[in-house]
Structure 1
Amino acid sequence: MPVTMIAVPAVLLAGALAAGLTPGPDSAVGRTFDADAPHAPHWTLTGVLLGLTSAVLAAGLAGATVRGPASQEPYAWTEPPRRLHSGHIGDYVAWLLVGTALLGGLALPGIAAG
């Protein structure tokens, strides 16, 4: 695996960790979202453990997916949806529009009622 494929995610992860550990950004975010907050957001053991657990699970699942055995076509039901998307840019635009309209239609009753 080329070093550049590992270097960029490593730098981004290190930057995210540094931003989370320094005291300045968390108090700035606390003031941004709640101007009357008496103190900045703080770390809790539960929050740290949940964050670490989710990061480890995400990395593990990504690694298992990338390193897992490549299968030809595991399920026959995936063939019709594959025919609907040829990879042309128009397909991306059309399916983005369909997905946006579907999410908007699903959210409309909640928005109209609320």
Structure 2
Amino acid sequence: MRCLGELETAVMEVLWAVGESAKVREVLDRLDTGRSLAYTTVLTVLDNLHRKGWVQREREGRAYRYRPVLTREEAAAQMLHHVLDVSGTPEVVLTHFVGTVSDEHAEVLRIALRERDG
């Protein structure tokens, strides 16, 4: 999955918040980007998200209903994998990351690693 632009991220945030599939008009009505957007702009963004594999669509009458392929948390994990993949030195990136996390996040990581290792 490719990373998202600013408007694509805003549209995904709406879809994740809705919790079910939504038509273009429903997404447009909920978008709060600080600027006025045309219906066709949101339609194009949703079509691009579909092409990129971020949303699935299902025809309903003459329109489509769109829904996220992944949860917000799954998408964030995928993006972290992407960052590690393109960094060239994932070990160094992880070491820097671990050195900057809060104690609370470090404990979450410890627990997750223990659970993963059984």
Task: Please classify the TM superposition score into its range, dividing by the shorter chain length.
Answer: under 0.3
Higher helix share: 1
Q: Larger RCO: Structure 1 or Structure 2 (Cα < 8 Å, ≥ 6 residues apart)? A: 2
Higher strand share: 2
| Structure with larger Rg | 1
